[in-house]
Amino acid sequence: MNLTVTPKISRDGFVKMEISTTNSTLSAQIIDINKSAQAPVVDQRKANTTVSAQSGQTIVIGGLIDTINETNMRKVPVLGDIPYLGVLFRTTTTKKERKELLILMTPIVLDNSQVPVKLTDPDRVLRDNLDNADIKQIMREGDMQRRILEPYYRTNRPSWRENQIRTNTAPAL
């Protein structure tokens, strides 16, 4: 996955972001290049959008849905091609899969003054923004939404500050 964001800050504090995403996956299909070489098919999806948000406001970009319907047949050479009897020497598998990608972004405009800025815990900011966006209501609407958004509400993981303290106080080898 490749995500490109071009932010532009307006005088009123809004951040206009031009967002481009490219998602590439390997397909189960294989193309014969020549007699001795094959190459996999790469499926590529692209999406472009422009969003305007205030500094500190979380935006959610959804609708990047990927549906995979693949049918593969494996067979014993020659025997799998025999009419009627060939069924005994080949198998067909069908794969159906649906994925949705949600992108959560929070632009923050930094002040250019020399006054020290108070650091905030990004996990806390994300959780507060999710609470204000009524994401919990969306989680109740379906199992897929709940499974995607539930990790953001876990409270048993250490905050990033605790991770920073652990990293900075770790004994040197």
Could you report the per-residue pLDDT of 67-78, keeping only the tens digit for each? 888 888 899 998
Lowest mean pLDDT among 80-89, 109-118, 140-149: 109-118
Work out the pLDDT band at 103, boundaries 50, 70, 90: confident
The gap from C-alpha 135 to its chain's centroid, in whole angstroms, comes to: 17
Beta-carbon count within 10 A of 156 CB: 4
Say which residue, 65 or 143, is predicted with more confidence: 65
Helix (H) or strand (E) holding 135: helix 135-141
pTM of the predicted protein model: 0.49
Q: What is the pLDDT of residue 118?
A: 62
Q: What is the pLDDT of residue 37?
A: 87
pLDDT at 159 over 60: no
Computed over every residue of the chain, the mean pLDDT equals 78
d(CA 79, CA 43) in angstroms, rounded, equals: 32
Q: Which pLDDT tens digit goes with each residue over 34-47?
A: 888 888 888 888 88
The number of residues making up the chain comes to: 173
Q: What is the pLDDT of residue 152?
A: 63
Q: What is the pLDDT of residue 18?
A: 94
d(CA 165, CA 119) in angstroms, rounded, equals: 14
pLDDT at 119 over 70: no
pLDDT at 117 over 60: no
| Average of per-residue pLDDT across 76-85 | 90
